[in-house]
Structure formats: C-alpha cells, structure tokens
Amino acid sequence: MNKHKFKYRWNLSDGYPKSNGLNVFGTFICGGGSTMGYKLAGFNHLGGVEIDPKIADVYKANHNPKYLYIEDIREFNKRTDLPDELYNLDLLDGSPPCSSFSMAGNREKDWGKEKVFKEGQAMQTLDDLFFDYIALAKKLQPKVVLAENVKGLIQGNAKSYVHKIKAGFEDAGYKVQLFLLNAASMGVPQKRERVFFICQRNDLKLPKLELRFDEKIILYSEIEDKNDKREQPNKKTRTYLGWKKSNPGQTFASAIDDNGSMFGYTKVNRNSAVRTVVSNNGTCEWHDIYFRKLNKIEYCKVASFPLDYNFKSIEPKYLIGMSVPPIMTAQIANQIYSQWFIKTE
C-alpha cells in the first residue's frame, strides 16, 4: 500500500474533517497526540484529564476542549459532579505513564514505588495508574476503552501486569484485545512500537477487531528539513568526535555528555524511518551530514504533529516524546469506527 490514508504533514489551521457524531474523552492527555488523532478520524473529542498545569495549558491552547480537568486521575475518579455526557461516551482513551515498564528504565526496581515524575507534582505509584484508569472505565462504562503503553509491558516479568490489566478490564465489564503496533507501518515517519488494549463493553457483542497496517515506510530523507544547514558551534567535544566517526543509523554515544548528563545519540539513516522519539532531552537524533540535532519542523513531521502546533514554553521534543503520534491514533480510531460503529448504527 503506497497511498497514505492520513497525511503526516499537516496544520491545525487546516481544520478537521466532518464529525462522525461519536464522542471521546481522554485521560493522561498530555499534548493531545491522541486527541488530534481522534479528530482526524472524525470523532468529537470532549477533552480530558491532565495532572500537569503547564502541559494542560498547552493542551488548552491547541485544542480548546469542552472539558478540561487539571488534576490527578485518582482525584478525578472521586468526582460526583461529572456531566452526563461522560457517562454516555462512545470511547474512553488513556495512556497511563509508562516509565516503570520501559526497557530503557529501571523496570522491576521501580515497580510499587511512589515517585514524583516530571508530568506532575503528586507522588504516584506509576504502575498503579493503569488500574486507576480501569477504575474510571468501570465507573463511566463507555462503549469502547482504549489504553496505550510501551512495548516493555509485554516483555519479561512485566507480562504479569498484562494479565492483571486484562483481568481488571474484564471485571469492569469488557472484552479485551491486545495489539502490538508499529507507527512506521501506519503512515508515521517513526519506528515506534506500542501496545494497545482495545476493549468493547460486553453487552455490545461486537466481532473481534482486526488491525493490519502495511503503509509504505516514510524515510528520513522524505521529512528532512533541507534548508537547515546550520551546525553546532563547538566541534572539539566528545559528541562531535563520536558523530564524525559513526555511520548513519549508528548510536555514537550512550553514556555521559560533555555536561555530565546521561544521553543517547544516534546519527540518522536517511534511508530508514527515524527511531522512536523519547521525551528525554538528552536522547536525540543527529543529522548525518551536518553536525546538528533534528529541529522542530523535523520532529513535528516525525511524530505527525501539526507544523503550526503551539508548544508555548514546552520543549517540542519532550512533548512529542510523551505523546501518541496523532496519525497512529487516527488509524486505529478509523478502524474502530468502520468495524464496530458503522455496523451498529
């Protein structure tokens, strides 16, 4: 399949397609990657819950939500003043913070520990947030529930969490399907593998959802900002020496940079899709010809974020790394609509 269903290069000012009449509400909404994906697929996104005031401010500026709750999901779950709309949702979406399950993190060492993390100010046991999300699904009883997380959730000892999550959704009244999807096969210029739990409420008795994506891989050469020929000024650093000696696609540093910070640098391969964008500011991609990091325009295209997105004071790469690529969500939402909702309308 060479034709892409959704364009990775787009602008918020272009507007969204006509609504299909289905309502979505989000949790852990961050910069609104999923929000934009649902809107691109025709869904009406009502807003969501976000713990970090600065991130919520960026979300509000870009998406103008009908409902926006700036609080911990645990506090949101206690609310008794929610509008009726939220009890009649077609779809509930959420991406519980996943650093506890990432293969790049401390994994088991952090399971069960309370931490203050950058996305908010409250102490939270990160691996428990998935179950707080399930509790919300049980409370609101939407027709469909979608939960996204890192690939590490289905690897090693973390698999035990998958069984607990599945049992939690079943106890909440849902049939569960688990998918491992790669954004690169879905029209996103990024190798980003993510796990998706997609659940249908038991009373709907819908068929199993079929998800297969085989869109043409988008190479870095196709999204490169060819006008950016600037280079970092200091070429006497270990970073430069590593970059100079490395081959395209090769990781040339993964320990400590010149300022003593942990990082992971990779020289891009223009004949391949860019690797997963992460929120860690130290970990990044470098151009293969010019001694520079990828710029904002390139990262927006890599993540299928709109080029006119207003990041305000937030570092673009950080917000993008924290967010689900809009086109990834749009592809899934489009299939949910065509396979489940069209046949039941």
Q: Is residue 291 part of a domain?
A: no
Phi/psi region, residue 75 (left: phi>0; alpha: psi -120 to 50; beta: rest), is alpha
Task: Express each pLDDT in 269-295 by its tens digit.
Answer: 999 999 999 888 778 899 999 999 999
Whether the CB-CB separation of 101 and 156 falls below 8 Å is answered with no
Mean pLDDT value of segment 2-25: 92
Least confident of 155-159, 172-176, 189-193, 335-339: 155-159
Residue 248 domain-assigned (yes or no): no
Is 124 a member of any domain?
A: yes
Residue of 48, 42, 55 whose CA lies nearest to 15: 42
Cβ pair 142, 94 in contact under 8 A: no
Spatial distance between the Cα atoms of 114 and 137, rounded to a whole number of angstroms? 23
Helix 33-40 and helix 326-336, axial crossing angle in degrees, nearest 10: 40
Q: What is the pLDDT of residues 224-281, one digit of tens each?
A: 999 999 998 888 888 899 899 999 999 887 655 555 555 688 999 999 999 999 888 7
- Over range 39-55, report the average pLDDT: 97
**Cα gap 15→79, rounded to integer Å:** 33
Whether 30 contacts 97, CB under 8 Å: no
pLDDT on residue 5: 86
Distance of alpha carbon 30 from alpha carbon 235, whole angstroms: 36
For the chain, give the mean pLDDT. Answer: 89
**3-state secondary structure (DSSP) of residue 317:** helix
Specify the pTM. Answer: 0.90
pLDDT value of residue 280: 80
172 within domain boundaries: yes
pLDDT in tens, 52-109: 999 999 999 999 999 999 999 999 999 999 999 999 999 999 999 865 554 444 434 4
Range of the domain at 62: 12-217+325-341
CA distances from 104 to 101, 168, 324 (A): 9, 26, 18
The answer to whether residue 147 is domain-embedded is: yes
What's the distance, Cα to Cα, between the start and end of the chain in Å?
29
Percent of the chain with pLDDT over 90: 75
Does 134 have pLDDT greater than 60? yes
Burial environment of residue 207 by CB neighbours within 10 A (0 to 12, 13 to 18, 19 or more): exposed
Residue 173 lies in a domain: yes
Indicate which residue of 30, 98, 199, 300 is catalytic. 98
User: Based on the structure, what is the number of domains in the chain?
Assistant: 1
Phi and psi (nearest 5°) for 79? -65, 140
Q: Which residues of 279-318 are buried (b: 16+ CB within 10 A; e: fewer)?
A: beeebbbbbbeebeebbbbbbbbbbbbbeebebeebebbb
pLDDT at 122: 55
- pLDDT for position 113: 47
Cα dihedral value 162, 55, 277, 244, nearest 10: -140
User: Is residue 145's pLDDT more than 50?
Assistant: yes
What pLDDT was estimated at residue 283?
82
Per-residue model confidence (pLDDT) at position 106: 43
Q: Is residue 266 part of a domain?
A: no
Lowest mean pLDDT across 31-40, 44-53, 261-270, 290-299: 261-270
Tally of CA atoms within 13 A in the half-sphere of 153 that contains its CB: 27
pLDDT in tens, 205-216: 999 999 999 999
d(CA 153, CA 100): 9
Question: How confident is the model over 45-54, as a mean pLDDT?
Answer: 97
User: Is 239 part of a structural domain of the chain?
Assistant: no
Alpha helices in the chain (DSSP H): 33-40, 53-63, 73-77, 129-140, 159-171, 220-223, 238-245, 296-302, 316-322, 326-336
Tokens of 342: 């069209």
Q: What is the CATH number of the domain that holds 46?
A: 3.40.50.150
Q: DSSP string of 33-86?
A: HHHHHHHHTT-EEEEEE-S-HHHHHHHHHHH--SEEE-S-HHHHHT-S---GGG
Q: Tell me what pLDDT residue 15 has.
A: 96
**Confidence band for 118, pLDDT divided at 50, 70 and 90:** low
pLDDT of res. 262? 52
Residue 98 appears among annotated catalytic residues = yes
